[in-house]
Amino acid sequence: MGLKACIFDLDGVIVDTAKYHYLAWKKLATMLNINFTEVDNERLKGVSRMASLDIILEIGSIVPDDKTKEEYAALKNKWYLDYINRMMPDEILPGSLEFISELKNAGIKVALGSASKNTPLILERLGIGKLFDAVADGNVVSKAKPDPEVFITAAKLLGVQPEDCVVFEDAVAGVEAALNAGMRCVGIGSEKILKDAHFVVSGLDKMSLRKLKVSAK
């Protein structure tokens, strides 16, 4: 196992959008009289928009037709975009830019691996589109995490083997996707929740190339 590339999830790792996804889903759940909690929300992290909606509808035991489901998903995305369009570069999570530039200075490639179809918009809002050597997002992959497709695609775009990649993920489904891709995974968040990650830190401000190398030994 080498260390040639780092692949970052976007929502909840590079930028604090996880709270906006939650608030927008909560608004939809309230509209539908579904009791949706922050604990339930953990199941949605890293999961695609339609799969997230399915989880919420399952909690509420509601079975709408496909057209109505599309309308609910569009409504949630509209509310989510209201938050995203007001987002500022200072919402980039602490330590992210510093850690990524440390990696790049050391010749390690960096990519983004996100389920979000809103990735291009978020990168543009934050002015960090050019930071990544490759971007694999919800617009180019069809299988949702925990399927490894998004990370395998990112590795292919970078021209590196999966065993030479480390993934940074805040979601249980994302950690599983990284492991399914045959990659090492650093969990961002709580050790209790991200039990399967090889190593967990509370945020990228607690990460460094030295720590990454030590954790791989």
Query: Which residues make up the interface to Mg ion (CB under 5 A)?
Result: 9, 11-12, 170-171
- Residue 159, number of CB atoms within 10 A of its CB: 11
Edge-first strand listing for the sheet containing 199-201? 134-136, 109-113, 5-8, 165-169, 184-188, 199-201
As a whole number of angstroms, the distance between CA 155 and CA 162 comes to: 6
Q: Is residue 171 part of the contact set for ligand BG6 (CB under 6 A)? A: yes
Active site annotation includes 147: no
CB closer to Mg ion out of 71 and 205: 205
| Strand partners of residue 201 | 188
Whether 147 and 164 have beta carbons less than 8 Å apart is answered as: no
Active site annotation includes 11: yes
Question: Which of ligand BG6, Mg ion, none does residue 153 bind to, with CB < 5 to 8 Å depending on kind?
Answer: none
- Residue 107, number of CB atoms within 10 A of its CB: 7
DSSP class of 163:
G
Question: Which of Mg ion, ligand BG6, none does residue 138 bind to, with CB < 5 to 8 Å depending on kind?
Answer: ligand BG6
Question: Which of Mg ion, ligand BG6, none does residue 49 bind to, with CB < 5 to 8 Å depending on kind?
Answer: ligand BG6
CB of 43 to ligand BG6, least distance (A): 10
Question: Of residues 7, 21, 157, 168, which one binds ligand BG6 by CB under 6 A?
Answer: 21
Given the rule CB under 6 A, which residues bind ligand BG6? 10-11, 21, 44-49, 52, 77, 114-118, 138, 171
Question: Which residues are annotated as catalytic?
Answer: 9, 11
